[in-house]
Amino acid sequence: MAETIPAGSTTDGVIQVGQPTDARVSAPASYDVADFPVPHGREEDWRFTPLERLRGLHDGTAVADGGVKVEVTAPEGVTVETVGRDDARLGRAGKPVDRVAAQAYSSFEKASVVSVPKETVLTEPVRISVRGEGGTAFGHQVVEVGAFAEAVVVIDHTGDATLAANVEYLIGDGAKLTVVSIQDWDDTAVHAGQHTALVGRDATFKSVVVTFGGDLVRLHPRVVYGAPGGEAELYGVYFTDNGQHQEHRLFIDHDTPHCRSNVAYKGALQGKEAHAVWIGDVLIRAAAEGTDTYELNRNLVLTDGARVDSVPNLEIETGEIVGAGHASATGRFEDEQLFYLMARGIPADEARRLVVRGFFAELVQQIGIPDLEERLIAKIEAELEASVG
């Protein structure tokens, strides 16, 4: 199935769903763009983002004059639909939490909805191709997995576009969903996206975010729990090249008892003015007894001139938890690792490649799809050729 998301127009008819106020944003979550002030770069949510490179997505000056082509390849039994703004499934996972996400929600015309029926176990992944065709566009996608179903979904972003989009994951009770979101844009693309997962009772959600391309990519993965027993694993791999800005801002809202979350993101940077930002926010509310959570961010700086901002945040409002922690580290190659490999006859350049490949391998293996894993390892190797070749 293929569709083209057009330039978009502002319409009404949003679905009003009550959501808790996000403790870490400057304005309450809302579908209404007017509820968010235009950011100027001094706000906590925006202080790392080069606003001028968002091409007007943040201040309403972006003209919707382009599109992205969406193609879905799905196994038998999966329903793929293109729906209007009045579809009841839109907005169920949560409201936009910043002005760009609200602008995207207000401006899209049609949404893509992929539904996996309850108790269905897919043996092949659902593959969603999102290809930019130039210009500015707004998009919306929903992935719904019924109770006790199991599915893997791959969302692959390529081409050139200035895209603001929201993606919702609705995971039914006892269901298991793995999503691999790949940002392999052309070097001129801009992509701002909010990914919101609503995890049902005893359900499992695994997200693997892979970011390589684009001039600026700013993603906001979020997890909320609809009932006790939910589990969320959020993994990420990013390779930030010369002049690129890649920003991942995670928020996990533990407002439900006996839920679990685990976060691990790793990035490598090379080249002048390469800039990576990782913000990991975990909020354990007073009602969330029995929570178990941990978040980790590791960054490897390959060349001079690259910059990393890594900020893990953990707020705990109850002492009745299983565990909570976070860690962050940024550094260069360890000389001992290189010496160990070179002492065994491995040339310096190859030794550096092996170290970086090993740095990422643990998270790439979380994908569980051989052809994708091979593609991403090859991409990492190609990136390394520019820095150590």
State the distance between the two ends of the chain, measured CA to CA, in whole angstroms: 41
Model confidence band, residue 355 (pLDDT cutoffs 50, 70, 90): confident
* Residue 124 structure tokens: 């092949």
pLDDT in tens, 67-77: 899 999 999 99
Mean pLDDT, the chain, integer? 90
Dist. CA 216–CA 89, nearest whole Å = 30
Q: What distance lies between CA 56 and its chain's CA centroid?
A: 21
Only one residue has tokens 């269901």, namely 175
**pLDDT recorded at residue 340:** 64
Orientation angle between helical segments 335-342 and 348-364, nearest 10 degrees: 120
Per residue in 157-212, pLDDT (tens digit) is 999 999 999 999 999 999 999 999 999 999 999 999 999 999 999 999 999 999 99
* Section 96-117 average pLDDT: 97
> By the 8 A CB rule, do 109 and 6 touch?
yes
Residue 131 scores a pLDDT above 70: yes
Helices 348-364 and 370-388 cross at an angle (nearest 10°) of 150
Residue that is written with structure tokens 């191709």 in the block: 129
- Residue-by-residue DSSP string for 102-149: HHHHHH-S-EEEEEE-TT-B-SS-EEEEEEEEEEEEEEEEEEEE-TT-
Q: How far apart are CA 171 and CA 194, in angstroms?
A: 17
Q: Above pLDDT 70, what percent of the chain? A: 90
Give me the amino acid identity at 326: H
Confidence check: pLDDT of 348 > 80? no
Q: How confident is the model at residue 243 (pLDDT cuts 50, 70, 90)?
A: very high
Residue 337 confidence (pLDDT): 67
Are 26 and 53 in contact, with CB atoms under 8 Å apart?
no
Residue 90 has pLDDT above 50, yes or no: yes
At residue 278, the pLDDT reads 98
Per-residue pLDDT tens digits for 306-331: 999 999 999 999 999 999 999 999 98
Q: What is the pLDDT of residue 24?
A: 53
- Give residue 5's pLDDT: 41
pLDDT at 13: 29
User: Which tokens sit at 374?
Assistant: 């091979």
Nearest to 223 by CA among 248, 187, 199: 199
**Six-digit token string for 122:** 């897919």
pLDDT score recorded for residue 335? 64
pLDDT at 26: 58
Q: Does this model's pTM top 0.85? A: yes
